[in-house]
């Protein structure tokens, strides 16, 4: 059954209502990283090494105080203190310790750099794979999806959302992993040195965690809304660019600008809200960090002045105070860093949710299990009591029955909204019937693979799409393995060779976007050449000559006559010249075939087709009759 056609922002609206699952999103990212585990493993190993350096450094600074500057046998574990050692000997030992510190710090910096490179390598490979899957999914999704979702919003998944993730997969992710490891390692070392002193020094941490959870959670909501609004901005921008001619023709520049301002303002408000929570968190954590430093200094200082251990534990030395000061500072830094980077990660997670939401979209049209490849089509097409609907309960086609034999040309006419385009969309299975069946050579189109079916069907639309590539490449799109001679032969068949030769670079002329620089008729001739090169067994023409002048129409008509020869063809046309020679004309109204026969047979009936002819086609016929 066909999917319902919702509003143009269908998927955007769904995103705000469906629940978000952080753990699921992170697990799905983990699956991608698992494929590049060597880079991740190297990065994690180097992060552990660089974190050990950061933990070891405060210990050595404390040992420098207790072993050399103010020797204290109870606090010095780095070496054996000789009370009689001279100042020169102590200075020599201090120099060795400082050199050791420098070597450690240099090694830590090298490890951090290599870890960053390894994590970036893995992250970029993950992004490449995600982008490929997104691009593949974009080509898998059915036409219904694109009727419900704007192109700009879909594009933002591949561009801005992946860009947000890219920023996190290298610097932010590595720093968060390193920060978490550093915090845990420091806590263990502090507790190992002096439990009461450590607990007092860390007493502010629960408040920091609560603040981080609250503010980062609010930031995540704001960033998700920001990503959603960014999709709207991209959608409006893409629509305005694509419709620039219509905007200027109807003098609607101000209205278009006003609409873009509203969308842009919504994106601004979401970003400001996210920035509000992000900027508030940093000073709050800094203030709490200063309180933690104050606790270390006050508690350690009082213990030193009174020469009393805390709660019966080992005595606090001056070196231990220096070590704990370093610990607390290093402890606070990753908390603040994680809080700031976590908001970026929240934004990336929100982008990931949008990306996975697109990847999880189920195409309406999919090959059934065990679907066979379509054999070489002979050309018999049969509609058996076909029912079709876009929205449940709102039928578009009601009991369509007809048979086209191989080589026949079937013309489909009727008023706008009668169901003509729906009929031809069912043949290549762009949509599925809701009742009845469409058979080609006796095979239901739902029982064969879509690729094997569509590869034998050619389509020429009223506004055929041309790519920003050479004329040769645009025609070769019909059959990628075609030689240059075959492309030129197809262009000659389509009566396009002469005007192509007159282009600045002939067949190598690069076209502008959507074929800009060519007339509508020239674009149609190239699209006919493309269809001719594909050599389809079934050909569909959807008003292929309705937007061209009479001279160009004759050229197109001549090309179509050659192209239609020997093929089963379905033609939707608003021009009499396209219909007159059809083997069968179907008059469609309100989703039903109300009349059928040849052009002359239907005129003789004086029915609905006769009325259509008298109101629409008669003036086209008169000049030919007069001549």
Structural domains in the chain, sorted by start:
30-359 (1.20.1560.10), 372-456+575-627 (3.40.50.300)
Query: For the residues 501-523, what does the mean pLDDT come to?
Result: 80
Looking at per-residue pLDDT, the higher value among 587 and 233 belongs to: 587
DSSP code, position 538: E
Q: Which helix (H) or strand (E) holds 387?
A: strand 381-391
pLDDT on residue 294: 87
Give me the mean pLDDT over the 509-525 stretch. 77
Tokens 């561009």 sit on residue: 159
**Residue 111: predicted pLDDT:** 93
Write the pLDDT tens digit of every residue in 180-199.
888 888 888 888 888 888 88
User: Beta-carbon neighbour count of residue 111 at 10 Å?
Assistant: 19
Which of 52, 326, 322, 296 shows the shortest CA–CA distance to 185? Answer: 52
Spatial CA neighbour of 581 closest among 564, 556, 605, 593: 564
How far CA 147 is from CA of 122, 244, 416, 434, in Å, comes to 36, 20, 18, 19
Query: Mean pLDDT across the stretch 595-604?
Result: 90
Question: pTM (2 decimals)?
Answer: 0.65
Whether the per-residue pLDDT at 618 is higher than 70: the answer is no
Task: Look up tokens 């050692």; give the residue.
Answer: 85
Long-range contacts of 7-10 (CB under 8 A, 24+ apart): 7/148, 8/148, 8/149, 8/150, 8/235, 9/149, 9/150, 9/153, 9/232, 9/235, 10/148, 10/149
Sheet holding 394-404, edge to edge: 394-404, 381-391, 435-440, 443-444
Residue 538 tokens, joined = 């079934």
Per-residue model confidence (pLDDT) at position 49? 92
Can you give the pLDDT at residue 249? 64
Residue 439, pLDDT > 90, answer yes
Of residues 518 and 114, more confidence is placed in: 114
pLDDT of 225 reads 75
Burial class (CB within 10 angstroms; exposed 0-12, middle 13-18, buried 19+) of 246: exposed
Query: Does the pLDDT at position 106 exceed 80?
Result: yes
The confidence band for 386, taking pLDDT boundaries of 50, 70 and 90, is very high
Helix axes 520-534, 484-493, angle to 10 degrees: 120
State pLDDT tens for residues 459-482.
887 667 788 888 898 888 888 888
- Residue where the block lists tokens 């920035």: 275
Q: Averaged over 105-129, what is the pLDDT? A: 89
Mention every residue, 6+ apart, whose C-beta is less than 8 A from residue 275.
none
Asked which of 178-187, 406-415, 481-490, 510-519 is least confident by mean pLDDT, the reply is 510-519
At what angle are helices 87-140 and 173-193 packed, to 10 degrees?
140
Length of the chain: 627
Q: Is 413 strand, coil or helix?
A: strand
- Percent of the chain residues topping a pLDDT of 70: 84
The residue assigned the tokens 């920023």 is 167
Percent of the chain with pLDDT over 90: 10
Q: Is residue 236 exposed (0-12), middle (13-18) or buried (19+ Cβ within 10 Å)? A: buried
What does the alpha-carbon distance between residue 615 and residue 610 come to, in Å, rounded to a whole number? 9
Amino acid 12: pLDDT: 40
Average pLDDT, whole number, for the chain? 80
């Amino acid at each position: 059954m066909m999917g319902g056609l919702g509003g143009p922002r269908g998927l955007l609206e769904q995103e705000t209502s469906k629940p978000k699952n952080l753990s699921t999103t992170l697990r799905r990212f983990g699956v991608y990283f698992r494929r590049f585990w060597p880079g991740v493993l190297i990065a994690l190993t180097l992060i552990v090494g660089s974190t050990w350096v950061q933990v070891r450094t405060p210990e050595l600074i404390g040992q420098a105080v207790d072993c050399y500057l103010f020797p204290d046998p109870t606090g010095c574990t780095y070496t054996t203190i000789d009370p009689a050692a001279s100042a020169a000997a102590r200075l020599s030992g201090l120099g060795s310790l400082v050199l050791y510190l420098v070597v450690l710090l240099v090694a830590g910096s090298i490890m951090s750099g290599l870890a960053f490179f390894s994590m970036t390598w893995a992250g970029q490979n993950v992004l490449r794979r995600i982008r490929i899957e997104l691009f593949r999914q974009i080509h898998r999704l059915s036409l219904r999806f694109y009727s419900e979702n704007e192109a700009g919003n879909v594009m933002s998944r591949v561009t801005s959302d992946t860009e947000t993730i890219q920023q996190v997969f290298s610097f932010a992710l590595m720093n968060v992993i390193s920060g978490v490891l550093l915090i845990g390692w420091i806590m263990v070392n502090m507790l190992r040195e002096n439990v009461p002193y450590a607990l007092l020094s860390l007493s502010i941490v629960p408040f920091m965690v609560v603040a981080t959870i609250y503010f980062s959670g609010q930031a995540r909501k704001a960033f998700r809304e920001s990503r959603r609004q960014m999709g709207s901005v991209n959608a409006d921008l893409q629509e305005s660019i694509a419709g620039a001619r219509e905007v200027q023709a109807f003098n609607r520049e101000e209205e278009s600008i006003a609409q873009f301002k509203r969308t842009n303002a919504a994106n601004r408000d979401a970003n400001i809200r996210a920035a509000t929570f992000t900027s508030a968190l940093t000073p709050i954590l800094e203030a709490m960090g200063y309180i933690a430093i104050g606790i270390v200094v006050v508690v350690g200082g009082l213990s030193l002045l009174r020469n009393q251990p805390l709660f019966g534990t080992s005595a606090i030395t001056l070196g231990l105070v220096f070590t704990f000061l370093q610990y607390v500072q290093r402890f606070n830094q990753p908390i603040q860093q994680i809080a700031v980077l976590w908001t970026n990660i929240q934004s990336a997670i929100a982008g990931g949710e949008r990306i996975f939401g697109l990847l999880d979209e189920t195409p309406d049209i999919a090959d059934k299990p065990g679907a066979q490849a379509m054999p070489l089509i002979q050309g018999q097409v049969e509609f058996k009591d076909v029912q079709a609907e876009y929205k449940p309960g709102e039928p578009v086609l009601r009991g369509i029955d007809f048979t086209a034999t191989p080589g026949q040309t079937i013309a489909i006419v009727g008023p706008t909204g009668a169901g003509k385009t729906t009929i031809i969309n069912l043949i290549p299975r762009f949509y599925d019937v809701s009742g009845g069946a469409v058979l080609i050579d006796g095979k239901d189109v739902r029982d064969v693979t879509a690729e094997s079916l569509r590869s034998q069907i050619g389509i020429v639309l009223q506004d055929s799409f041309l790519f920003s590539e050479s004329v040769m490449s645009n025609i070769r799109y019909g059959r990628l393995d075609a030689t240059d001679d075959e492309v030129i032969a197809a262009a000659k068949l389509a009566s396009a060779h002469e005007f192509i030769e007159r282009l600045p670079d002939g067949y190598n002329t690069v076209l502008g976007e959507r074929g800009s620089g060519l007339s509508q008729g020239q674009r149609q001739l190239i699209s006919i050449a493309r269809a001719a090169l594909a050599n389809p067994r079934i050909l569909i023409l959807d008003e292929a000559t309705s937007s061209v002048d009479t001279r160009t129409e004759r050229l197109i008509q001549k090309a179509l006559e050659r192209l239609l020869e020997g093929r089963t063809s379905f033609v939707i046309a608003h021009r009499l010249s396209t219909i007159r020679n059809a083997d069968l004309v179907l008059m469609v109204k309100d989703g039903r075939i109300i009349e059928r026969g040849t052009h002359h047979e239907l005129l003789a009936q004086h029915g609905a087709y006769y009325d259509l002819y008298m109101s629409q086609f008669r003036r086209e016929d008169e000049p030919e009759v007069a001549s």
